[in-house]
Structure 1
């Protein structure tokens, strides 16, 4: 046995499985099921292994949906950042930001929640299936000096964000219905007479005709005709043909492009460590909190007294992750950070992220509602993918961007599948399966063993409990010793459940607190 050494080991408190609570996605009043742990401290490697087994953190609370029971199964999704190519809609957002920086054009009135900004509300580290941790945990937390009221506040906070997911879906449907009413109204308006064709411009031609001409020109260029005939043929189509300019651009081509001298604005992204808080984080705390408060009140209609500094701190600043620096790691180190978006000397958005051995894990995003029209949810996600690529240059193992949970059974939450190539985590084998291969199974059943090879099993399965590490009376011991000295009823079933959920590697490294 050994005495506990602070700061070097993960210390967790398993709270068991809970279910029968309201779901923020489908509104089922009793369908939400998950398992939870309170994490007093957590190494980045242990958390990496936990999220690779379907866990996710909200503050210092770490939870795992009970996939085969919960009403809306939540599959861990990761984007292969090194191979990511932006879609047309992604490029549209990036171009919109460039246009704003160069010309200063954006509409403050255009406040609407785009899908990726819904991603921020569900906290992505917190799809908020977490509900009401068992009351019994309060007394167990006291020996380690945890505030017994903290759990009650966390429960209220989770329920609040759960309702915000539903607000997004309702807001979207209401917007759609209002648009249809507007369209119906417009149909009865007599159109104004036009001014006719603009004779200074060439006449419009169908894209089909242009494609045929381009195909003909390409064919003619490969013919071995006399030069005079080639020249004549080319002259027939040259007046309507244009050189190809649509070369594939990466997100870096948009994000890190040098702005022209006449650009009106600049945007700067600053990375500050949130836990333990750096001096830069402390200096900007109040301003960052005020952005969060405005975001909650305007976008989510929170009353002024609800987004308190303590709630903000507990939810988005407190983290169980240890700050770690490794020789082959990124210069900034590993752990929990805020990416602050500074514009004209003030913060307009903050992306909350975890930097782990294999990934950048997106936790949350909040922003100044005056800049809603810039689609900051999508823009920040693309910047975080680019940031992941930058970190990979120094830390070769760090090559994924984790987006939280993908919920196929909730259409409003399928947007994460647009960041490709992406993989989903099989809930039974804990292997990664390409998203495209998973979709047919998920179309058929909302819960699915995604790995179709029945020979594959969970390699991290706990085969025996003897080596599970226990922290009891501030002393570290393997479970076999703890069990031998324990007085009272057996807790073997609880320890077995915990070990099965966290896996062999974590159960032998992390310290399971037992009172």
Structure 2
């Protein structure tokens, strides 16, 4: 059985100032706990994000909400029960119009641009203490020349929109030459309501005379379009659309072919939207931030790029890890010959988790933040046909104190995670609490406790000198391996116990018994 291996960075109790907040821009008000994920199984990472953790490349972090200026609450949408709002339909219609007719804008000035950025800086590298040298590349059994796609049956084959049924649009025109004189709104509305009620009563009396119930039929109109229907396009569209999946490996030929183009869009986004310098978003930092990941790969399961192709050109790339129950993805969206957006996602046992989105600012008229989220919700529903436990779409963190992040709550039905009980609650019930206080216990029942709370340090599993052991075995082993003149002082022992106890409280009882906490060899 594969085991997760992490290296925890304990917080310093003497440090009272934090990092710069990427949301409110205060210099010393962001506090987080972090650990390096050398290896993570899908199951363990699912449990981690359900306790408020997120990953940035190989680095995993959890905001300390009780101390942060902008508390961050995990948010998820129930994809199977998802309801499209009126504003989201406008975004889908605009994108559909662009694909089918080539028109690039429709009331573009009123479009809301959604930016899904966690504004987080991860450490430059691991501390270097870990002596773990297994080569995980031997687990990759897929040829570097394989080009794969997921069809509707979730099998890996080529996928295009050639089989999508043709639909036609009817344009209504208005003849203004014979318009009736306008009447006051109140009189017009009142008259319409009265006439409608009279017609309804006459119809009801006729039905009763025939011996029928006289009840109105409520579903006589056309059925509303599903999300999947909004995301399909005519076969004779101006832009022909298809999806392709390639192995997410720097040595993979297809990965290399699209790397420079996607990097260029990333740099343009970071410089334009976040004001970064070009050296801060170079190829090395791009790989560390969005390409590297700790998720394990076995057999057909592994890391992939999900590419969206427009007219034979890549329009989007989704970096995905397909594991027995997990996929980690990055979506890149192009127009002919040009990537316009990239969305990074993790697919886990119960969810698709959005990690990051960047896009070409020139294409903000397509509301790509909203569109990519809707596309990923549809992807959850697609995967659920094969993996019955997959039901949710995680949108990262909901920051109520940051207006530009509130759009995440518009994907209904959505739920926020309570930072104390780690239970999920409808966002509508949480908003009044957050309006009163930026940090709040969201679970209304004060008696509800964390069912996965840390209990005993002896339950922690440890990796020491390439051996897996319990905490008790580690203490005994480490004591025997050091000369008497080099035993730890009492202060050093207490500090290590404090660090491991802090780790246990943050990850929870179940996860700390599954993951291996790396402990370095003490100097002799």
Residue 460 (structure 1) aligns with: 452
Aligned-partner Cα distance in 2 for 1:345–1:244: 45
- Please tell me whether residue 82 in structure 1 is matched to residue 72 in structure 2: no
C-alpha change, 1:331 and 1:215, in structure 2 (3 Å) is: farther
Partner of residue 196 from structure 2, selected from 205, 209, 217: 217
Residue 366 (structure 1) aligns with: 358
Residue 152 (structure 1) aligns with: none
Contact 2:56 2:289 in 1 (8 A): yes
The offset of 1:110, in angstroms, is 6.4
Residue 95 (structure 1) aligns with: 93
C-alpha change, 1:506 and 1:207, in structure 2 (3 Å) is: farther
Aligned-partner Cα distance in 1 for 2:416–2:299: 29
Q: Secondary structure at the match of 1:67?
A: coil
Contact 1:33 1:69 in 2 (8 A): yes
- Please tell me whether residue 310 in structure 1 is matched to residue 284 in structure 2: yes
**Aligned pairs, number:** 431
Partner of residue 506 from structure 2, selected from 501, 504, 507: 501
Q: After the TM superposition, which of the residue ranges 202-211 and 40-49 deviates more from structure 2?
A: 202-211
Residue 13 (structure 1) aligns with: 7
In structure 1, list runs of 5 or more residues that go unmatched: 147-196, 228-242
- Please tell me whether residue 417 in structure 1 is matched to residue 409 in structure 2: yes
Partner of residue 292 from structure 1, selected from 245, 255, 266: 266
Question: Which digits, 9 at most, give the CA deviation of each residue in 1:125-176, with x for residues without a partner?
Answer: x442x5668x9x62424x3479xxxxxxxxxxxxxxxxxxxxxxxxxxxxxx
Report the aligned-residue RMSD.
3.3
Aligned-partner Cα distance in 2 for 1:36–1:280: 33
Aligned-partner Cα distance in 2 for 1:108–1:284: 30
C-alpha change, 1:291 and 1:391, in structure 2 (3 Å) is: same
The offset of 1:280, in angstroms, is 3.6
Contact 1:269 1:341 in 2 (8 A): no
- Please tell me whether residue 394 in structure 1 is matched to residue 394 in structure 2: no
- Please tell me whether residue 377 in structure 1 is matched to residue 369 in structure 2: yes
After TM superposition, which residue ranges in structure 1, 4 or more long, deviate above 6 angstroms?
Answer: 108-113, 243-246
Aligned-partner Cα distance in 2 for 1:16–1:225: 73
Contact 1:80 1:400 in 2 (8 A): yes
Q: Which has the larger share of helix?
A: 1
Residue 41 (structure 1) aligns with: 39
C-alpha change, 1:224 and 1:424, in structure 2 (3 Å) is: closer
In structure 2, list runs of 5 or more residues that go unmatched: 135-174, 207-218, 302-319, 479-486
User: Higher relative CO (CA 8 A, sep ≥ 6), structure 1 or 2?
Assistant: 1
Aligned-partner Cα distance in 2 for 1:29–1:52: 28
Residue 228 (structure 2) aligns with: 252
Aligned-partner Cα distance in 2 for 1:480–1:458: 25
| Alignment TM-score, normalising by the size of structure 1 | 0.75
Partner of residue 472 from structure 1, selected from 461, 464, 473: 464
Q: Secondary structure at the match of 1:337?
A: strand
Question: Which digits, 9 at most, give the CA deviation of each residue in 1:266-305, with x for residues without a partner?
Answer: 3334444536876543432222222222333344444444
Aligned-partner Cα distance in 2 for 1:478–1:225: 76
Residue 177 (structure 2) aligns with: 199
| Alignment TM-score, normalising by the size of structure 2 | 0.74
